[in-house]
Structure 1
Amino acid sequence: MKTDNWGFYERLSETEQMRVLINIGYNGSAPLPNYTELLSITVNLYPVRESNRTNRQFVQQLEQLESKLEQWLKSTSGAIYIGRINASTRLEFYYYLEGGRLTDEQLHAWLGANWRFRAQAYRKEDAAWSFYFFLLPSAMEQLFVHNAQMIYALIHKGDNIGEPRNVYHWLLFREDGERSEMEELLEAHGYVIEREKEGKPETDYPYPLVISKFEDVRLDTINERVRDLYRLLDGRDGRYDGWGAAMRLSRTNRIRRYIRRRVEFAQSTLRKVFAGRS
């Protein structure tokens, strides 16, 4: 059937920036039989933000709604949660439903009892899951998904993502001439050509190029850099192949890592001592 595989990325429309969370795990199995109805629930963020003193409380209230709504819809109608769109003024949740298993009266009654702010619910037939496929990330947006996963992993390991460092990007080209022309263009845009660093050539793209910029690794920064490189590569026979950077731990996390390593070393030493006595 499918496995949960959530991806997060940013999409720029003509009028706004949207942050999209989507369960990519349904790609390959969608559309699912019988799940022919698309349900969207839209929350106006202004009154929610004004009713909370801190941004943390604001986020927690929305997370609680998301969790409770998903559990209720799944238990009462078997609804499938495919994702959400977060814009500056609204938050939209999207589900696919089996026809006839949920009435408007049930939905409005639940929202009235569990959400004190106004929420708009909209339903339409979408047996082909066209909206789901619209939400699936493009080739560039797939890189944004990967960026979010990498930066989340860095944060989890204690990285201070706001601290600048050399951020390296790998590009690949089919022709050496294209690579040479791109070097000049990249240098004009402030990139450093890392001639001492070797890229990994591929059969179809045998000419690698490694470049860098000194900056932080916040998600907005990395996504903007990827978007910039995609634009510069447009119309050229080249491909973007990812980025990387050394970790920069905060002082607190450096101390924690040092203490953890000392404890692990001490435990390892004790195990060896006791093993020798047995």
Structure 2
Amino acid sequence: MTDNWGFYERRTGNDHMRVLVNIGYKAAAPLPDYPELLSVTVNLYPVRAQSRNNRQVIVQLEELESKLETWLSDKADAIYIGRINAATRLEFYYFLKEGRLDGAVFRQWLDENWAHRAQSYIKPDPEWEFYRFLLPTALEELYVHNAQMIYALIHKGDKIGEPRNVYHWLLFREDEDRLEMEDLLQREGYVIEKDKESKPEEDYPYPLVISRYEDVKLDTVNARVRDLHRLLDGVDGRYDGWGSTMRLSNVNRFRRYIRRRKDTAYSALRRMFACGHSQSNQNQAGKH
């Protein structure tokens, strides 16, 4: 089974949860050989109280996560399917083969490897109902995509806190709905981008591109996508993604420039080698 991790945020009542789930099992679940669910819940209060800063808290929790995954994989062939990070707790979830892991043995290992309060339980879940609870909804799948895009921007050196034109693509089945949405979105403060290219789809032949001048932090983008998803709920339309130009720092801009120069030089050398190799082959052929 291929791992495919997705991250999104979910709000239920007063609970704000950051969810990481292995979407790679979505098509295959439930796995009949793994009918038991293991839950491990870490109380975050004592961890924060005994740590000097937030970075130290993160390091400790990452170390615990790594130890859990390694030990449970080796001892019980467990499948790590996700975690929930809330304000006061961090929860890890695994699926197990029936009877493969003794709860008391695991409790002893946890006490030896984690100095703070933690709770654990094993219960039957042959239909993987909890896994389906973790899987993102249609809106949360957009959040997963947002997180992946913003991570890619950060990795490339983008200063995501700097505002820029952020474009959003919408698709409609009926032109009348698109025109009505244009008026509504303009009243909501969006700019209608008539000159931006957007490809229609067979089922949604009427595209619309809009923009807003703002940053591309995850909270900002998620709020904007949530707003557009709500507006589209009353019409036969579909949200089709977003994009923006990058905002690089001077250092990252210079690094990108140097990288491009290196790539250009490397491509030129490859072409020179290819031409020289081709000419050599022709000369060899002429000798015969």
Bin the TM-score by the shorter chain. over 0.9
CA RMSD of aligned residues (A): 1.8
Cα distance, 1:57 vs. partner? 1.7
Conserved? CA contact 2:21–2:82, under 8 Å: yes
* Alpha-carbon distance between aligned partners in 2 of 1:261 and 1:94, rounded to the nearest angstrom: 44
Which amino acid in 2 is paired with 1:32?
Answer: L
2:139 matched residue in structure 1: 140
The secondary structure found in structure 1 opposite 2:120 is strand
Cα distance, 1:264 vs. partner? 4.2
Which amino acid in 2 is paired with 1:258?
Answer: Y
Which amino acid in 2 is paired with 1:211?
Answer: I
The CA deviation string for residues 209-234 of structure 1, in whole angstroms up to 9 with x for no partner, is 10000011111111111100011111
2:197 matched residue in structure 1: 198
Instruction: State TM-score, norm by structure 1.
Output: 0.94
The CA deviation string for residues 43-68 of structure 1, in whole angstroms up to 9 with x for no partner, is 11121122222222211111110010
* Alpha-carbon distance between aligned partners in 2 of 1:267 and 1:74, rounded to the nearest angstrom: 44
2:30 matched residue in structure 1: 31
The secondary structure found in structure 2 opposite 1:168 is strand
Q: Give the % identical residues.
A: 68
Give the alignment of 1:48-87 within 5 angstroms: 48-87=47-86
Which amino acid in 1 is paired with 2:172?
Answer: F
**CA gap 1:274/1:5 in 2 versus in 1, 3 angstroms:** closer
2:104 matched residue in structure 1: 105
* Alpha-carbon distance between aligned partners in 1 of 2:168 and 2:270, rounded to the nearest angstrom: 43
**CA gap 1:33/1:218 in 2 versus in 1, 3 angstroms:** same
* Alpha-carbon distance between aligned partners in 1 of 2:133 and 2:42, rounded to the nearest angstrom: 21
The secondary structure found in structure 1 opposite 2:35 is strand
Cα distance, 1:198 vs. partner? 2.7
Which amino acid in 2 is paired with 1:123?
Answer: I
The number of aligned residues is 277
Give the alignment of 1:223-234 within 5 angstroms: 223-234=222-233
2:285 matched residue in structure 1: none
* Residue 154 of structure 2 corresponds to residue 155 of structure 1: yes
Which amino acid in 2 is paired with 1:69?
Answer: L
Which amino acid in 2 is paired with 1:48?
Answer: V
Larger radius of gyration: 2
The CA deviation string for residues 237-271 of structure 1, in whole angstroms up to 9 with x for no partner, is 11101101111111110121223334444556667
Instruction: State TM-score, norm by structure 2.
Output: 0.91
2:246 matched residue in structure 1: 247
Gaps of 5+ in 1: none
Gaps of 5+ in 2: 278-288
1:166 matched residue in structure 2: 165
Cα distance, 1:27 vs. partner? 0.9
The CA deviation string for residues 159-209 of structure 1, in whole angstroms up to 9 with x for no partner, is 111111100000011111111111111111111111111321111111111
